[in-house]
Structure 1
C-alpha cells in the first residue's frame, strides 16, 4: 500500500504539482471520507433502548402527565433519511403521533416539537453531532458506539435537566 501511495505521489508531483499541493489534496480526500462516514451513519431506523432523565425533562418542558406515562416505556422509533446535508427526521410516538422534521444543515428550517409547537430553527454540526436549539431546550444527536444518542438539555431554577435517549439500529 505504501509503495502504491508513493507512486501516486510521484505521479502527482511529476505532473507539475508541488508536494504542498499533493498533501492538501490528500488531506481534502481524507476529510471528505471522514465527514461522509460520520454523517451517513445517521441513516436508518432506530429504536429506543434506554432513556435517562425522561420524567423530569418532560415535566419541565410542559408535557402533560398522561402523555409522559404513555411514553415512558414506549419504544420510540426514529427514522433518519439523509441526502448530503439534507435530512428527514421522523419520530413515531404512541397513539400514531408522528413528528417529521426536514432540514438542511446550516439553513433555517420549519421545525416541530414533540408537543406540536412549530418554530424556525437552524440545525448545525458540533463536531460529529447534529445540534439545534428548540424553544425550551438544546438538542444534540450523535452516533456513538453504533448507537443513536440524543441529548436534550433544558434549564430549570435548580440548574440544567438532561434527558438522554439511546437507540439501537433496527
Structure 2
C-alpha cells in the first residue's frame, strides 16, 4: 500500500475517551489534524500537525528505532507491516494505519480489558 501523501482529518470516533484513557485530556482540539506521510520504500516519516503543534517520527519497517510518543516519552519500537497495515506499539496504545478507498484509517487502542479504541479517518488532500 502506498501511504505517501497528505491527509486531513475527516471523522473520528472515541476521541475524548481515548485522550482521557491515555492521560492526554489537555490535548483536546477542535482543529483539523493534518497527517503527512513521506515514504521511500520501507522508510517513512510520519508527521501530524495542528496550528501551533507538530509531532513527527521516522522509522523503517521491520527495524527497531528510537522514537518519541505524543506524550514526549522516548522509546524503542519496531514498526511492522501486516496485511497492508502499519503497526506499532506505543507506550500508551497500539497503533495501526491502513489505506482504505484512498483514505488513511488510523486506529489507536489503549491496553487492558477495557481498552479504548479511537478511530480516525482522513481524506487525501
TM normalised by structure 2 equals 0.94
Residue 39 (structure 2) aligns with: 82
Instruction: Give the 3-state SS of the residue equivalent to 2:27 in structure 1.
Output: helix
Q: CA deviation at 1:114?
A: 1.6
Q: CA RMSD in A?
A: 1.3
5+ residue gaps in structure 2? none
CA contact (8 A) 1:60 1:156 kept: no
Aligned length: 125
Residue 26 (structure 2) aligns with: 66
Residue in structure 2 matching 1:103, options 50, 55, 59: 59
5+ residue gaps in structure 1? 1-37
Residue in structure 1 matching 2:110, options 131, 151, 154: 154
Whole-angstrom distance in 2 between the partners of 1:93 and 1:107: 29
Q: List structure 1 runs of 4+ shifted beyond 2 angstroms.
A: none
Moved more, 141-150 or 114-123: 114-123
Q: CA deviation at 1:156?
A: 4.6
1:166 equivalent in alignment to 2:108: no
Whole-angstrom distance in 2 between the partners of 1:66 and 1:140: 23
CA contact (8 A) 1:57 1:154 kept: yes
Could you say which structure has the larger radius of gyration? Answer: 1
Residue 96 (structure 2) aligns with: 140
Instruction: Compare the two structures and name the one with the higher strand fraction.
Output: 2
TM normalised by structure 1 equals 0.70
Whole-angstrom distance in 1 between the partners of 2:86 and 2:26: 30
